[in-house]
């Protein structure tokens, strides 16, 4: 799964010596100051579009459910895939692409990036991107750090590998064992045109390098269908990141952790 369960959806600016000044000047100022070394966190757009992203797949059950919900609502999405899963289910990767969706890289596996220095991050990311490009026949643009965790050194390695890190705003909280309506309500918090929604079409396991296995069951077709129904009621549609950037501009900010 992408976010750290202890800190869902939040990656901190982890330079300890700047904590006092950061508190005084405020997060918006810090984010503007770090934009040159930042990650994509949203899209500035006038179009009624919310960006849909799904991590940790492809998965034989979850990906099928998500693809069905997207098709029923005429939506597109960006799938951040793990190579550990792609190697097991290459046919699902082909299905994602055939349905008109975008593919980004979530990693060769789901190990937290802060375990690696800049060069190791670059090498791992570049090798994984090369393999995924060969499988898709398309140039990759985006990288979603596992758990939403990256250091400045990791960011440098990702950029040196030719990819741009992508974070998120609202989240479905689908990795938590909660009532479905609570997940839908969480997905609406902070939802607006240009926001990037985090969801999962699978859950990374210990075998994929994740910290723990997720054991609860989840009806992803129902969850994504309900979220997209809520968007439709507001006049919004769900689109991939690449589609949103055709008419919008990236919003960049510093997202670093330890």
Tell me the C-alpha to C-alpha distance, in Å, between residue 244 and each of 51, 184, 195.
Answer: 7, 22, 10
Give yes or no for a contact between 241 and 43, defined as CB atoms under 8 angstroms apart: yes
Residue 189 has a CB neighbour count (10 Å cut-off) of 12
How far is it, in rounded angstroms, from Cα 80 to Cα 192? Answer: 21
200 labelled catalytic: yes
Q: What is the pTM of this model?
A: 0.88
Active-site annotation holder among 55, 174, 201, 208: 55
CATH 3.20.20.370 correct for 16-253: yes
pLDDT of residue 1: 60
Domain residue spans of the chain = 16-253
4 labelled catalytic: no
The average confidence (pLDDT) of the chain is 90
pLDDT tens, 130-186? Answer: 999 999 999 999 999 999 999 999 999 999 999 999 999 999 999 999 999 999 999
Active-site annotation holder among 200, 201, 208, 221: 200
């Amino acid at each position: 799964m992408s976010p750290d369960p202890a800190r869902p959806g939040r990656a901190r600016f982890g330079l300890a010596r700047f904590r006092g000044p950061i508190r005084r000047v405020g997060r918006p100022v810090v984010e503007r100051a770090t934009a040159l070394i930042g990650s994509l966190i949203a899209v500035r757009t006038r179009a009624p579009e919310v960006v849909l992203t799904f991590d940790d797949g492809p998965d034989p059950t979850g990906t099928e459910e998500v693809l069905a919900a997207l098709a029923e609502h005429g939506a597109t999405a960006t799938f951040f895939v793990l190579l550990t899963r792609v190697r097991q289910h290459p046919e699902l990767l082909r299905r994602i692409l055939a349905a008109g969706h975008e593919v980004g890289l979530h990693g060769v596996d789901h190990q937290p990036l802060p375990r690696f220095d800049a060069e190791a991050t670059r090498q791992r990311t570049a090798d994984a991107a090369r393999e995924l490009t060969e499988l898709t026949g398309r140039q990759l643009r985006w990288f979603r750090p596992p758990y939403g965790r990256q250091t400045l050194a990791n960011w440098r390695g990702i950029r040196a590998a030719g990819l741009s890190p992508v974070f998120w705003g609202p989240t479905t909280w689908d990795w938590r064992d909660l009532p479905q309506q609570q997940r839908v309500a969480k997905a609406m918090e902070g939802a607006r045109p240009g926001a990037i929604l985090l969801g999962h079409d699978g859950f990374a396991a210990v075998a994929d390098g994740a910290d723990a296995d997720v054991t609860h069951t989840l009806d992803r077709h129902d969850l994504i269908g309900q979220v997209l129904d809520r968007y439709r009621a507001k006049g919004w549609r769900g689109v991939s990141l690449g589609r949103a950037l055709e008419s919008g501009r990236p919003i960049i900010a510093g997202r670093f952790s330890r």
